Structure 1
């Protein structure tokens, strides 16, 4: 009887093997599809803060904050580190710390800010500055800090347009801020 059982088992083995292989394959496919579904849903933006920005935007924001920092005595802006003049340039360090810069220097820094903001606008069309900063991961406080620094810079440049800041530089900054939906201060 053992011989007949062995013969029956040997005839069933290929069928069982085929069923087991197909079953394992199906279980594997189901697991892969579940993993893929989890990966897709976890990488999909669940909120504005998780949505991605165009490549290079973070560096442009960092550069903008660095130039704003120069106008604010080297203070940190929006979570970005403050501007540190070269350690071997005491005159420049004092100029930044004491905010004793000329209108021509303000003009230059604002032109640089305009350049960075212009690139940010081109890389992230249709987004407001607030949306960009949220996507960058800045908190509401950091976002407000950077926006207020831009508004203050606009006002400073506008006032200094009578003393050496090019009025065209101020107009470009105004235009970029409007494009980024940053309200301008009005007095």
Structure 2
């Protein structure tokens, strides 16, 4: 079975429309295509699906699923960023937004302790307003600046924070 559950479109940072992606998947004889719009719900960076377009995105994917029924299975999903306390992916909340599945992601690295407590449990409460974060997918200079600013230049602490956040998203979506 040929599948892809990690497909971005022009609803977020992809270049093509959902229908163009379905057509490409059919040309390549895929059995299932899953759309996974970048989400930092209820917030958004320039490469995320804007909150005001969630319903439109879900309706578009649902319409394609019906239009291509019997030829290819089409699923609506989200690649949901984990950045507590601002964005903690919640399956029920995303289901209400049309999600058939979620991909948990860590695109942002937060200041030490922002994403989890020392015992590794997820903390989605209040946080010091001065705490910050940076995008780990940014250019080398921005990442180096983020590590300097948030972790005193200690790359090991930054890597530990990243894996703590990965564990946090896994616990959140368990």
- TM-score, normalised relative to structure 2: 0.27
Higher strand share: 2
Structure with higher Rg: it is 1
- TM-score, normalised relative to structure 1: 0.25
> Quick one: higher RCO (CA 8 Å, sep 6+), 1 or 2?
1
Higher helix share: 1
